[in-house]
Amino acid sequence: MTFMRTVLLAAVPLALAQVDPPGPPFPNSTYPNATDPLTDSGAMWNETSPPSYPSPWGTGLGDWADAYKSARAFVSQLTLTEKVNLTTGVGWEGEKCVGNNGAIPRLGFKALCMQDSPLGVRDTDFVSAFPAGVTIAATWDRALFYQRGFDMGSEHRDKGVDVQLGPVVGPLGRTPEGGRNWEGFAPDPVLSGIAVAQTVKGIQAAGVMACTKHYIGYEQEHFRQGAPPTSVTESISSNIDDVTMHELYLWPFADAVRAGTASIMCSYNQINNSYACQNSYTQNQLLKNELGFQGFIMSDWSGQHSGVSSALAGMDMTMPGDIGFDSGTSFWGANLTIAVLNGTVPQWRLDDMAVRIVAGWYYVDREANQVANAPTFSSWTLDTYNYQHFYASEDWTQVNYHVDVRDEHAADIRNFAAKGTVLLKNNGALPLSGNAKLTAVFGSDAAENQYGPNGCSDRGCDNGTLAMGWGSGTDNFPYLVTPLEAIKAEVLSHGKSIEDVIDDYAYAQQNALARRVTDVGGVCIVFANADSGEGYIIVDDNEGDRNNLTLWHNGDDLIRNVTSFCNNTIVVMHTVGPVLVDSFYDNENVTAIIWAGLPGQESGNSITDILYGKVNPGGKSVFTWGASRGEYGADVIYEPNNGVLAPQEDFAEGVFIDYRAFDKLGETPIYEFGFGLSYTTFSYSNLQIAAHAAPAYTPTTGDTPSAPTYGVVSNNTADYLFPADITRIPAYIYPYLNSTSLSASSGDPLYAINYTFPAGAYDGSPQPLLAAGSSVAPGGNQALYDVLFTVTATVTNTGSVEGDEVPQLYLNLGGPNDPKVVLRNFDRITIAPGASETFTADITRRDVSNWDTVAQDWIISSYTKTAYVGSSSRKLLLSAKLDLSGVSTSPSGPSSTTYSSSSSSAAGYSSSSSSAAGSSISSSSAAGSSSSAAGSSSSAAGSSSSAAGSSSSSTPTVTSSYGHSAHSGYGPPSYSSTSA
Ligand code: BGC
């Protein structure tokens, strides 16, 4: 019986009364061993999380071998309390970074500095403010993902940071309102996976450890830590079935692990009613065993809820170390020392924590990347002198060195944001020449925050132009170039006239200016935004998550007001995600629409580059713009739904979020995922698919070595007493005992109560490897990354200016529960006018696989699989079937998918007009053979009127030999599970 079982049993009566949530069906794929009959259909109310013990010990897989060798040698020298010091933070505001563990002065090993954020160095000065994750994602450019990571990592390094608390792939973006979606990349696992891998590599190439977060199922702010409201005592439970976990939420974490992320932050929420930081299934089984993660798991700040249990369940470092901020108490610290001495945490588990932490340090070569006076800043003040121990007000000294670490990053930032800008509509108004007689700029989003760019703590307000959301995922702007000042400079350089009204509600002044523009000839540029952030700050009644999908400050009214007088209105939106544009997108006076994302410090310059054609837009939307909020399917839970117990968030939509939901539900978005225009046009032709001979997939077998220990732990408790030569700092967390009696030292009245921890947690003998795991390298079974096919297509610039296009590769995996299409690859290509370039994209084994919950492994179903290449998720211009004859497939698809025809999800597609659909390629299983698919050239150039996506030309044909006939629309297929 696991430690979480009590919670489950207590909740059973409520579960009985609970009606299954409405919504589309999803794979019936609960976790093995999650055997509560009430929850056996997966992703359900009170779902359980199966136990998985022991916690896998790191073995130095793949390119971690050298780091492990060094780490083991180092850890072998450590005492018990020195090891504990590595694992435990010193408490909130105990040292200068947002998180600091303990040092090992005896060996000259400095305490590690963990510092936010995913877009820059938080809480200090003279740093760059980079574009947010959602904006860099919209570049769809691997090189820029990497460069941004490297630039950010360099700034962290030069400030003396050891661990950058980013990047983010959790939240993934299940719901468009999710408050922190913008910190991450996109609600698509493949785009997020590629972006996170490149970002991790960039950060770590700069000599800083990345911390990929938040693991896992952290998809909303409400109830992430119980309250608000205070009546809810436990954090929300994200109830996720096994297929959805693997095919959606775990996918980008696998890419981060494979890219070598040195650490991963476990999240605040529960997964299947077990807290993320003590969930043995997600940490031990999925992350450390299946994915072979070699680094360390760090708790989110106060995300730890137990001492021994979280250690046994795989957590390696607690942050900021104290239970409540500045409580002076800790689940670990001295309590971990005690737990090792009394045997409730085996020595090998503590040794594994220490080795993982130090291995991360070696893996990124922290040794060679130290700076003087590190960390050179204090998170708690910008003053030069203050307390070293801020909370305790002790040790007055120089805490800030004001080191300017920005280097030449401003030019990169300007470029990143321009490249991540998405042109959604253009009837010819753009690019601007600069010679308009009168340029009029409207909206507070064009201008300064009256309090200054950093005037609201953690950017917790929506005043002035929006260049990042709010919360811990922010940093201080070194300056913020507003759109108004950059546009003004551009207009003045042409000797023309510019006026503005930045008050969103000054309707009379807006009207007057808009009329004059139409009268004399000119252009109106309206700026509007929508903000969100982390739940500890409430802005305009939004508790982190957005309350709705509308523009803020009555942006719709502003646009309506301007467009009712101005016949050439360009709308620019700085938003954290999709907003509802239905009230204006097809207004003929709206001549262009731009999504400018969250661009960072160079905002005005980046948007001016796009508006005036210095940069030809090539960004593509990384989310779907629906016509109504309801079309997205999943939504945030805003009110408690389980009394005072943990709210239950059933991920009953399965893998169908964002574009997959729109496709499944038959909704037509206004602008689809992957869509974006250019000042030129492109056509696509000549799809070819080469099949490669890859070795057959072999499930991993064999055992791990037994759990190693490093050094000998003395059992003499007197060895661990608080040293006489150290002066205690109030509320600081130490690893030392107060007494030679463990019980007295714990100060815990419940010490030594008869509590049973899972027996398997203490088993340090060799453990069987998982079929989907690896004994070779992190990232899971390495055969998943074998390239089975290479797709090529010709993309031609059919316009008159150079431009970037992002050809996208989508797959339909053919099964009754598979989405219509899933993104699998992309590239951003610069093409000269009239020229053609070849788009090349690999398809790996993972790309064509499904998760089989019975086999507990990836399998390739024998359903017909179709590849599509196009310019968006709905402009699937070329297609061809994949020839699976050389690949060993599973005859009937995932063995766990037992569908009834009435409840399975739709897999039927219209067989109409896609030019290349249904053309089977003829390549056999021979290595490298390729043949041309029947893709005729078709134009990808979207004009504003076609922005909604020509779905009829993008629907694949399914002609299956597995018992379901091709049929139109999205109704239930006639599928028989026995006919395969
Ligand atoms: C956030 C993390 C952040 C940490 C430290 C938490 O509240 O969820 O993303 O890294 O604080 O600031």
Q: Which amino acid is at 642?
A: N
Q: Which of 301, 379, 537 to mutate to test the pocket of ligand 1 (most atoms within 8 A of CB)?
A: 301
Ligand 1 atom index nearest CA of 267 = 8
Spatial CA neighbour of 186 closest among 149, 143, 139: 139
The C-alpha atoms of residue 304 and residue 335 are separated, in whole angstroms, by 14
Mean pLDDT on 616-629: 97
The C-alpha atoms of residue 849 and residue 649 are separated, in whole angstroms, by 27
Ligand 1 atom index nearest CA of 214 = 9
What are the Cα distances from residue 428, in Å, to 68, 431, 434, 528?
Answer: 59, 8, 15, 21
Spatial CA neighbour of 905 closest among 661, 667, 669: 661
Q: How far is the CA of 472 from the centre of ligand 1 (A)?
A: 6
pLDDT of 12 above 80:
no
Spatial CA neighbour of 137 closest among 177, 180, 191: 191
Q: Which of 300, 458, 468, 545 to mutate to test the pocket of ligand 1 (most atoms within 8 A of CB)?
A: 300
Ligand 1 near 362 CB (within 6 A): no
What are the Cα distances from residue 663, in Å, to 672, 794, 951?
Answer: 10, 26, 9
Ligand 1 near 164 CB (within 6 A): no
pLDDT of 962 above 80:
no
- pLDDT value of position 22: 39
Tokens of 570: 């360009």
Q: How far is the CA of 931 from the centre of ligand 1 (A)?
A: 51
Please give the DSSP secondary-structure letter assigned to residue 839. E
Spatial CA neighbour of 185 closest among 661, 868, 709, 823: 823
Order of strands, sheet of 296-299, starting from the edge strand that comes earlier in the sequence: 99-100, 113-115, 163-164, 209-215, 263-266, 296-299
Closest CA to ligand 1's atom 11: 301
Q: How far is the CA of 265 from the centre of ligand 1 (A)?
A: 9
Chain segment 704-729, per-residue pLDDT in tens: 999 999 999 999 999 999 999 999 99
- pLDDT value of position 855: 92
- pLDDT value of position 228: 57
Q: How far is the CA of 249 from the centre of ligand 1 (A)?
A: 20
The C-alpha atoms of residue 419 and residue 784 are separated, in whole angstroms, by 32
Chain segment 673-693, per-residue pLDDT in tens: 999 999 999 999 999 999 999
> Do the Cβ atoms of 184 and 171 come closer than 8 Å?
yes
pLDDT of 477 above 70:
yes
Q: How far is the CA of 687 from the centre of ligand 1 (A)?
A: 45
Ligand 1 near 301 CB (within 6 A): yes
Residue with tokens 């409840």: 903
How many other C-beta atoms lie within 10 A of the C-beta of residue 693? 13
- pLDDT value of position 33: 72
Please give the DSSP secondary-structure letter assigned to residue 109. B
Q: How far is the CA of 170 from the centre of ligand 1 (A)?
A: 12
Enumerate the H helices of 494-602 as residue ranges. 507-520, 555-563
- pLDDT value of position 699: 97
pLDDT of 948 above 50:
no
Q: How far is the CA of 300 from the centre of ligand 1 (A)?
A: 6
Residue 161: φ, ψ to 5°: -90, 140
- pLDDT value of position 29: 72
Both ends of the chain: CA-CA distance in Å?
40
Q: How far is the CA of 45 from the centre of ligand 1 (A)?
A: 28
Confidence of residue 957 (pLDDT cuts 50, 70, 90): very low
Q: How far is the CA of 187 from the centre of ligand 1 (A)?
A: 21
Ligand 1 near 300 CB (within 6 A): yes
Please give the DSSP secondary-structure letter assigned to residue 695. P
Average pLDDT, the chain: 88
> Do the Cβ atoms of 467 and 596 come closer than 8 Å?
no
Closest CA to ligand 1's atom 12: 472
Ligand 1 near 915 CB (within 6 A): no
The C-alpha atoms of residue 573 and residue 759 are separated, in whole angstroms, by 56
Ligand 1 atom index nearest CA of 473 = 9
pLDDT of 975 above 70:
no
User: Is the pTM here over 0.75, yes or no?
Assistant: yes
Ligand 1 near 129 CB (within 6 A): no
**Residues forming a β-bridge with 825:** 809
Ligand 1 near 119 CB (within 6 A): no
* Helix or strand (DSSP H, E) at 490: helix 483-493
Confidence of residue 45 (pLDDT cuts 50, 70, 90): confident
What are the Cα distances from residue 321, in Å, to 84, 349, 392?
Answer: 11, 18, 15
Q: Which of 97, 100, 116, 218 to mutate to test the pocket of ligand 1 (most atoms within 8 A of CB)?
A: 116
- pLDDT value of position 230: 59
Ligand 1 atom index nearest CA of 268 = 8
Tokens of 473: 């995922």
Q: How far is the CA of 644 from the centre of ligand 1 (A)?
A: 25
Q: Which amino acid is at 274?
A: S
- pLDDT value of position 886: 85
Confidence of residue 34 (pLDDT cuts 50, 70, 90): confident
Ligand 1 near 165 CB (within 6 A): yes
Residue with tokens 């007493």: 721
Closest CA to ligand 1's atom 4: 301
> Do the Cβ atoms of 555 and 562 come closer than 8 Å?
no
Confidence of residue 11 (pLDDT cuts 50, 70, 90): very low
Closest CA to ligand 1's atom 6: 301
Tokens of 399: 């805490």
Q: Which of 101, 472, 474 to mutate to test the pocket of ligand 1 (most atoms within 8 A of CB)?
A: 472
Chain segment 143-176, per-residue pLDDT in tens: 999 999 999 999 999 999 999 999 999 999 999 9
The C-alpha atoms of residue 372 and residue 375 are separated, in whole angstroms, by 8
Q: Which amino acid is at 384?
A: T
Chain segment 757-816, per-residue pLDDT in tens: 999 999 999 999 999 999 999 999 999 999 999 999 999 999 999 999 999 999 999 999
| Percentage, residues of the chain above pLDDT 70 | 87
∠ CA 445-447-453, rounded to 5°: 95
Confidence of residue 919 (pLDDT cuts 50, 70, 90): very low
Task: Please say if 748 is a catalytic residue.
Answer: no
pLDDT of 17 above 50:
no
Ligand 1 near 98 CB (within 6 A): yes
Q: Which of 97, 165, 209, 322 to mutate to test the pocket of ligand 1 (most atoms within 8 A of CB)?
A: 165
Q: How far is the CA of 690 from the centre of ligand 1 (A)?
A: 45
3-state class of 946 per DSSP?
A: helix
Helix (H), strand (E), coil (C) string for 17-38: HCCCCCCCCCCCCCCCCCCCHH
Please give the DSSP secondary-structure letter assigned to residue 449. -
Mean pLDDT on 403-424: 98
How many other C-beta atoms lie within 10 A of the C-beta of residue 900? 11
Tokens of 744: 């007295």
User: What percent of the residues of the chain are helix, what percent strand, and what percent coil, each to the nearest 5?
Assistant: 25, 20, 55
- pLDDT value of position 933: 32
- pLDDT value of position 72: 98
pLDDT of 597 above 70:
yes
The C-alpha atoms of residue 252 and residue 150 are separated, in whole angstroms, by 19
Chain segment 106-144, per-residue pLDDT in tens: 999 999 999 999 999 999 999 999 999 999 999 999 999
Q: Mean pLDDT check: name the lowest of 25-34, 74-83, 314-323, 911-920.
A: 911-920
- pLDDT value of position 550: 98
* Helix or strand (DSSP H, E) at 492: helix 483-493
Ligand 1 near 472 CB (within 6 A): yes
3-state class of 270 per DSSP?
A: strand
Ligand 1 near 123 CB (within 6 A): no
Mean pLDDT on 861-874: 97
Chain segment 218-227, per-residue pLDDT in tens: 999 999 998 6
Closest CA to ligand 1's atom 3: 472
Mean pLDDT on 359-385: 98
Name the catalytic one among 188, 300, 609, 663.
300
